[in-house]
Structure 1
Amino acid sequence: MSDSSRDTAAGAGWGSTERGAYQQLMPRRTEQLSWVDPRTLWPARNGVLASLFGDPTSRTRGRWVEQRTAAGAPPDKVVRHDAPDRFSFMVVGDTGEGDDPQYAVVPGFLKVGQDTQFTVLASDVIYPVGSTDDYGPKFFRPYRDYQAPIYAIPGNHDWYEDLEGFMRVFCDAPPLAPPPAPRRLSRAWWRSLLWHRPGTADAQLFAEARQLRSAPAQQAVQPGPYWAIDAGPVRIIGIDTGLLGTVDAEQGRWLREVSRTDTPKILVTGSPLYVDAEHHPCRIEGGGTVDEIVRDPDHHYVAVIGGDIHNYQRYPVTVDGRTIQYVVAGGGGAFMHSTHTMPRVSVAGVTEKDFRCYPLRGDSLAFYSRLYGRRLRMRRFFTLTEDQATAVVSKRLGVPPTRARVRDTPVTLRTRLVASLLGAGGRPDRTSRLRLPVRKAYTRLFSPGSATYSPPFFKCFLRLDVSPESVRLRCFSATGNLAQELDPPVEDEVVIPLR
């Protein structure tokens, strides 16, 4: 097995000059998204409108579910998958930008996942707005050689066109009839004036794209945007958290109902419940939270996997004497969210000793230092080597560096200043007022427009091996370099008991 980023800097993809063969899978022309471009921002306005004028997602989701039930989908929304007692499946989150980082994941994903029963896409299948016409280069083409079904849960970007593309692809659903006109001058009326609605899809383009995954072994039809899969000894439950990261009342009732079995369960959600050293229990309309359902010992949850945040994190949380693994797995293709801005982890009894993330914080800081050096044309000042970045993050957090050779790397005044400007360790200091946008503001304004198209990309995907006794969860990396493409490194591994 090849070195991981926890072993060596080369295992993280630094210093390699041989790019992987993933570019041979890409179309000749690819879209490079920029979230500072008005042509991207304007169609993606629905999230802002929902937060200002009320979120119509619950009503729209209800109409989709009614349509699928009327078409014959099982009322309990449970898929009975013909899987043996020992089987494997893949999870990939936040995939669909259709550019180098997404396609760089594909060779390793195909290699590791060649004998798996199915894959689950966790959140944001298609960027920027979930358009039906984007499914060709951003879903059907990259996964055309994966010879098993793919299920999905939508993210907020898939909802920017009222989930129409998602429902057509994964649920074989026709478009919804237009909703009733809102009362004049109401909040819904003002929202409707600006609401982005799906355009007319190119039927021929879609038919051609669908042929790329037309083999019988690749087919699956979901009962709706949220569902459960009974496979072997586990039940996998996928929930739809819509535009604003909440669950509607009807879906909440369904989630409680499908959780009331003795079968061990894994939840897949578009909004992670633990992320960036914080707890986000996910509100259910009408009362309660998703995490209350997960923590109930009668429901037998062993893991929660969430997308939305574009990296990997794992929090082993002890609840009433048992451990639930809370995982963030959104590194499947979209631009990278930083990990170096997280504070020292201390949440729900989880400490730095128990916590895992990818990319490592030092690699994240090195990545962003290069990015800012390039954008601000100040490479000599901003650029930190991976060893310098790891050393300063280790010092700011007060934890030993993961890679042993870093311990002798000096931390200079320039290194400390760059780390502070880029928010390393999430710790305020005397330069906080000068801190550059890296996490929240950067995410919204600059980071998606700054995606690098040269390795290392720090992408990842999961493989889960299920047996009657346990689930073995492994996080594999995809850097875009040939070495990691041929032999994807394991960045994290945990065995989860089922009994």
Structure 2
Amino acid sequence: MPASSRDSSAGAGWQDQEPGRYRELMPPRVVELSWLNPATLWRARNGPLASIFGDPTGTDRQRWVGAQTERGAAEGDLVITRDDPDTFSFMLLGDTGEGDGPQYAVVPGLLKEGAGTRYAVVCSDVIYPVGTGNDYPTKFFRPYRDYDAPIYAIPGNHDWYDGLTGFMRVFCRAPALPPAARARPLSAAWWRGLLWARPDTPDDALLDQARQMRSAPAQAASQPGPYWAMDSGPIRIIGIDTGLLGDIDREQGEWLRRVARGPRPKILVTGSPIYVDGEHHPCAIAGGGTVDEVVRDPAHHFVAAIGGDIHNYQHYPVDVGGRRIEYVVSGGGGAFMHATHTIPRVSVGGVGEDDFRCYPMRGDSLAFYSRLYGRRLRLRRLFDLTPDQASAVVAHRLGTTPVRASDRTVTLRARFVASVLGVASHRRRRSRFRLRLPVRRTLTQVLSPGSATYSPPFFKNFLRLDVTPEAIRIRCYAATGLRAHELDPPVEDDFTIPLPPATPAA
């Protein structure tokens, strides 16, 4: 097994190594997405508008599901029935489609480890920045053209920025919705409508041409809507759509409670992770209750909940009434990297620091961002930390032991950089350094994606899940953009979920 980031800095991708050949997969001309471009921010304005003037996602989602039902494309409880055997494997990745080097760098490892798997699932934000259908040729069909199995998906907030039009056209073959009823003048919905970004009209000829890249019979996939349940071998996978603001509507909540019933072991796939960054976000259901209450109900037999949206990997094994549910964040499928070094010492849901896993590790995240800010501020001599320096200062501030053996000397400069770049401290006293640069909070959505991050290591990830009637094994693989890791992707986390003995269906 190749060395991972937990073994060495070379395993993390820091040492000079041969770059990968992922660029050979890319189109001749690639537009690198810049979140510093005002035009990009303006196109992605629907999220902030929904926060201010109210979120229409729930209503629009049910219009999509209703239209699918009317045209006979969705039946019953939106269950996809597959003929998978009791022992099989599938892939999962999230937050994929910026269409640039980091996304394509995931592909070689995905193809290697995904060989022979039955299908893949994309959890959240298939397309950036606004989910338009016209971006699917280079950000979906081309990258995964050689993955010889179906791909299913649930949308993220960026897929909703065009009203879900592109997502529904590609994954459900759904025509555009008719215009919604006009809002009452001067109402919040009326003001929202004045600024709301209208969806692009998908170019059907362009999409039909792009579909030829994934036209093999083995790649054929059909899903009934933006949320669905899939019976696959001994398990049921339930994908929910958390829309623009990370919650679900009443009708979807009622559906979730129905399809969660029964003894079959279940995995939730969601665009909004329930445990993330050391916090618990149970995901509200309109009308009352939360998604996590459904997951935790022992009558529903959930064994894992996997979410995207945050662009890294995190793992929280939570004890719920004497049984363990694995809560996972897997959003490192191609989009810009969210920091992990800003995650405080973990103590949530009974999970402590020794049980928690993340990728990139906090020290590598701090080293990555120290170089990023050093470059952008032209203060490299001040900001740049080596991976060993970053690992040591993170461990010092959190009161932990560095995962990799390293020089544990913590200099004043390293403490300053760690403080201003948002590394939490387990000490109650306040840091002498009060300055904070935006790393994971609101402004990060502008500065970190807008910085040049097109040279390895990329710190992306994807999952492989191996299912048997007795257990599910989940492995998190790294994608760094280096050739050695394309040929043999490092494993950054590896755990097994025992399944209860099969019982007759209720």
Q: Report the alpha carbon displacement of residue 489 of structure 1 after superposing the two structures with TM.
A: 0.5
Q: Which residue in 2 is equivalent to 1:264?
A: 265
Within 1, Cα distance between the matches of 2:230 and 2:478?
Answer: 26
Report 1:158-237 matches (<5 A).
158-237=159-238
Within 2, Cα distance between the matches of 1:426 and 1:43?
Answer: 37
Report which stretch shifted further, 195-204 or 119-128. 195-204
Within 2, Cα distance between the matches of 1:431 and 1:181?
Answer: 55
The question of whether the paired residues in 2 share the 8 Å contact of 1:108 and 1:487 is answered with yes
The question of whether the paired residues in 1 share the 8 Å contact of 2:313 and 2:328 is answered with yes
Q: Which residue in 2 is equivalent to 1:244?
A: 245
Q: Report the alpha carbon displacement of residue 431 of structure 1 after superposing the two structures with TM.
A: 4.1
Within 2, Cα distance between the matches of 1:473 and 1:245?
Answer: 25
Query: Equivalent residue of 2:442, what SS?
Result: helix
Q: Which residue in 2 is equivalent to 1:9?
A: 9
Q: Which residue in 2 is equivalent to 1:275?
A: 276
Within 1, Cα distance between the matches of 2:408 and 2:197?
Answer: 52
Is 2:149 the partner of 1:148? yes
Within 2, Cα distance between the matches of 1:431 and 1:306?
Answer: 36
The question of whether the paired residues in 1 share the 8 Å contact of 2:416 and 2:433 is answered with no
Query: Equivalent residue of 2:127, what SS?
Result: coil
The question of whether the paired residues in 2 share the 8 Å contact of 1:341 and 1:426 is answered with no
Within 2, Cα distance between the matches of 1:458 and 1:444?
Answer: 18
Q: Which residue in 1 is equivalent to 2:63?
A: 63
Q: Which residue in 2 is equivalent to 1:49?
A: 49
Q: Which residue in 2 is equivalent to 1:422?
A: 421
Q: Which residue in 1 is equivalent to 2:411?
A: 412
Q: Which residue in 2 is equivalent to 1:33?
A: 33
Percent of residue pairs identical: 68
Report 1:74-85 matches (<5 A).
74-85=75-86
Q: Report the alpha carbon displacement of residue 441 of structure 1 after superposing the two structures with TM.
A: 3.0
Query: Equivalent residue of 1:441, what SS?
Result: coil
The question of whether the paired residues in 2 share the 8 Å contact of 1:458 and 1:477 is answered with yes
Q: What letter is aligned with 1:92?
A: L
Within 2, Cα distance between the matches of 1:395 and 1:434?
Answer: 19
Distance 1:235 1:451, change over 3 A: farther
Q: What letter is aligned with 2:497?
A: I
Within 2, Cα distance between the matches of 1:55 and 1:265?
Answer: 29
Cα deviation code 1:69-88 (max 9, x no counterpart): 11222221000111000000
The question of whether the paired residues in 1 share the 8 Å contact of 2:118 and 2:150 is answered with yes
Q: Which residue in 1 is equivalent to 2:133?
A: 132
Distance 1:243 1:426, change over 3 A: farther
Q: Report the alpha carbon displacement of residue 443 of structure 1 after superposing the two structures with TM.
A: 2.2
Within 2, Cα distance between the matches of 1:467 and 1:498?
Answer: 9
Query: Equivalent residue of 2:389, what SS?
Result: helix
Query: Equivalent residue of 1:201, what SS?
Result: coil
Q: Which residue in 2 is equivalent to 1:319?
A: 320
Is 2:109 the partner of 1:101? no
The question of whether the paired residues in 2 share the 8 Å contact of 1:421 and 1:431 is answered with no
Query: Equivalent residue of 2:185, what SS?
Result: coil
Q: What letter is aligned with 2:135?
A: D
Q: Report the alpha carbon displacement of residue 451 of structure 1 after superposing the two structures with TM.
A: 4.7
Within 1, Cα distance between the matches of 2:226 and 2:258?
Answer: 17
Q: Report the alpha carbon displacement of residue 475 of structure 1 after superposing the two structures with TM.
A: 0.1
Q: What letter is aligned with 2:421?
A: L
Within 2, Cα distance between the matches of 1:67 and 1:107?
Answer: 38
Within 1, Cα distance between the matches of 2:118 and 2:90?
Answer: 6
Q: Which residue in 1 is equivalent to 2:467?
A: 466
Q: What letter is aligned with 2:249?
A: D
Q: Report the alpha carbon displacement of residue 181 of structure 1 after superposing the two structures with TM.
A: 1.1
Report which stretch shifted further, 155-164 or 181-190. 181-190
Within 1, Cα distance between the matches of 2:301 and 2:164?
Answer: 31
Q: Report the alpha carbon displacement of residue 254 of structure 1 after superposing the two structures with TM.
A: 0.2
The question of whether the paired residues in 2 share the 8 Å contact of 1:342 and 1:426 is answered with no
Within 1, Cα distance between the matches of 2:425 and 2:31?
Answer: 33
Within 2, Cα distance between the matches of 1:69 and 1:200?
Answer: 22
Query: Equivalent residue of 2:472, what SS?
Result: strand
Within 2, Cα distance between the matches of 1:356 and 1:442?
Answer: 26
Where does structure 2 lack aligned partners over 5 or more consecutive residues? Answer: 501-506
Distance 1:431 1:171, change over 3 A: farther
Q: Which residue in 1 is equivalent to 2:504?
A: none
Query: Equivalent residue of 2:497, what SS?
Result: strand
Q: What letter is aligned with 2:171?
A: F
Query: Equivalent residue of 2:475, what SS?
Result: strand
Query: Equivalent residue of 1:109, what SS?
Result: helix
The question of whether the paired residues in 1 share the 8 Å contact of 2:397 and 2:425 is answered with no
Cα deviation code 1:134-190 (max 9, x no counterpart): 000000000000010000000000000000000000011011111111111111111
Where does structure 1 lack aligned partners over 5 or more consecutive residues? Answer: none
Within 2, Cα distance between the matches of 1:171 and 1:261?
Answer: 27
The question of whether the paired residues in 2 share the 8 Å contact of 1:90 and 1:119 is answered with yes
The question of whether the paired residues in 2 share the 8 Å contact of 1:91 and 1:119 is answered with yes
Q: What letter is aligned with 1:452?
A: T
Q: Report the alpha carbon displacement of residue 436 of structure 1 after superposing the two structures with TM.
A: 1.1
Q: Report the alpha carbon displacement of residue 17 of structure 1 after superposing the two structures with TM.
A: 3.4
The question of whether the paired residues in 1 share the 8 Å contact of 2:2 and 2:11 is answered with yes
Distance 1:426 1:329, change over 3 A: farther
Q: Which residue in 1 is equivalent to 2:303?
A: 302
Q: What letter is aligned with 1:131?
A: T
Q: Which residue in 1 is equivalent to 2:387?
A: 386
Q: What letter is aligned with 1:491?
A: E
Report 1:336-351 matches (<5 A).
336-351=337-352
Within 2, Cα distance between the matches of 1:17 and 1:290?
Answer: 44
The question of whether the paired residues in 2 share the 8 Å contact of 1:335 and 1:451 is answered with no
Within 1, Cα distance between the matches of 2:113 and 2:188?
Answer: 49
Within 1, Cα distance between the matches of 2:287 and 2:194?
Answer: 28
Q: Report the alpha carbon displacement of residue 393 of structure 1 after superposing the two structures with TM.
A: 0.5
Query: Equivalent residue of 1:155, what SS?
Result: coil
Q: Report the alpha carbon displacement of residue 269 of structure 1 after superposing the two structures with TM.
A: 0.1
Within 1, Cα distance between the matches of 2:51 and 2:494?
Answer: 38
Q: What letter is aligned with 1:417?
A: F
Q: Which residue in 2 is equivalent to 1:435?
A: 436
Q: Which residue in 1 is equivalent to 2:372?
A: 371
Cα deviation code 1:331-367 (max 9, x no counterpart): 0000000000111000011001100000000000000
Q: Report the alpha carbon displacement of residue 204 of structure 1 after superposing the two structures with TM.
A: 2.3
TM-score by length of 2: 0.97
TM-score by length of 1: 0.98
Q: What letter is aligned with 1:41?
A: L
Calculate the aligned-residue CA RMSD, in Å.
1.0
Q: What letter is aligned with 1:448?
A: P
